Chains A and B, each alone.
Chain A
Amino acid sequence: MKVRNLLLRAYPRSWREEYGEELAGVLARRGLTFAVVADVLGGAARQHLDRDEPWKICGVGLALWFMMARLVAVFFPYRTFFLWCWFCGLLITLASGAWTATRSKSGTLRSTVASAKTALIGQAGVVVLYLLVLPRENAYSFQGHGIYYWFLKTLALGLALSVPFGFAGALLGRLFTRLRKEPRAACLSGP
């Protein structure tokens, strides 16, 4: 029973309120095999992708990406690698803006703010990693200024860069929505 409850809790709350009891009923009548557990978890992931705010999903993705990158950077501390990590991170903030713009009816501003939130969550991941795992006396990262200076600098840089990238993502998202809504035949036939 405990495993079934845990499986149900993997779904978003709004989904559980609507379908949770039914799924619990089906799970109670079926044996729990590895395939069933994997299937239910896959369904939960799909519902999160469909229902959660894009900035939350992208933010968690960005945090995981930055954490992984910082861990790899301990053994591979090259500037090119850092630049590549930042570039991929900025692409994630761009995707966050575009995804928000395709989903919500509100416009560019909300999508840009969503990208900034994504950047904040992503940077929070790095901060947590530094506080928990990595050695704090890393001269390459702190450059003699101390850990709090580095935190603030990274946070400010991430936020500052997320705004233009989020804005660009929002414009891309709106363009994509417009192209998808307009009938293809009307586009092809011209004015």
Chain B
Amino acid sequence: MAETWDARRFCIELWYIVIRSMARKSTAGPATDPELLILSSVAGGPKHGYAMMQEIAAFSGVELGPGTLYTAITRLVEEGWIEPVEASGRQRPYRLTPGGLDYLRGQLERMRQLASFGLRRLRTV
């Protein structure tokens, strides 16, 4: 006998797939967060967007797309964690603000604590 199509069951399964995919967390981890990567990059001195992309790819292996990069830069500027430096050319460099420095220090300290805790636990395994 051919199986009848159950619309209700189909909708429930579809909904389940949607909810599961929405709830899925990034598996890349905090070390690939664009905002932290940008803050780490400009901590070494003012840089424009393209220079940030190149440096981030070199030190972390993460290739940020232009859209992701400027979405993160926009948010960081709005939060007051980086600020543009006046420049005559087409590319505007950005520098870290004191607030951005505090935020970056806090985030990296938290990551360091987590990493050292996890590594200690791994040694006992």
Task: Show the binding face of A for B, using Cβ within 8 Å.
Answer: 15, 19, 21-27, 29-30, 35-36, 39-44, 46-47, 50
Contacts and interface: CB of A to CB of B under 8 A. Distances in A.
Interface string B73-114: 110000000000000001110000000000000000000000
B30 interface: no
A122 to B, nearest CB: 23
Chain A interface helix/strand/loop/mixed: helix
8 contacts: A22-B48, A22-B91, A25-B49, A26-B53, A26-B66, A30-B66, A39-B65, A39-B66
Given A22-B48, A26-B69, 12 more contacts: A15-B74, A23-B70, A26-B49, A26-B50, A27-B66, A36-B66, A39-B67, A43-B65, A43-B68, A43-B70, A43-B71, A44-B67
B70 A19 contact: yes
Contacts, number: 55
Contacts of B69: 26
Interface in B30-77: 48-50, 53, 65-71, 73-74
Of the four ranges (under 10, 10 to 19, 20 to 34, 35 or more), the interface on chain B belongs to 10 to 19
A35 B68 CA distance: 11
Nearest to A30: B66
Interface of B: 48-50, 53, 65-71, 73-74, 90-92
Given A35-B65, A39-B65, A40-B65, A25 B71 contact: no
A18 B69 CA distance: 15
A155 to B, nearest CB: 31
A30 B50 CA distance: 9
A11 to B, nearest CB: 9
B12 to A, nearest CB: 16
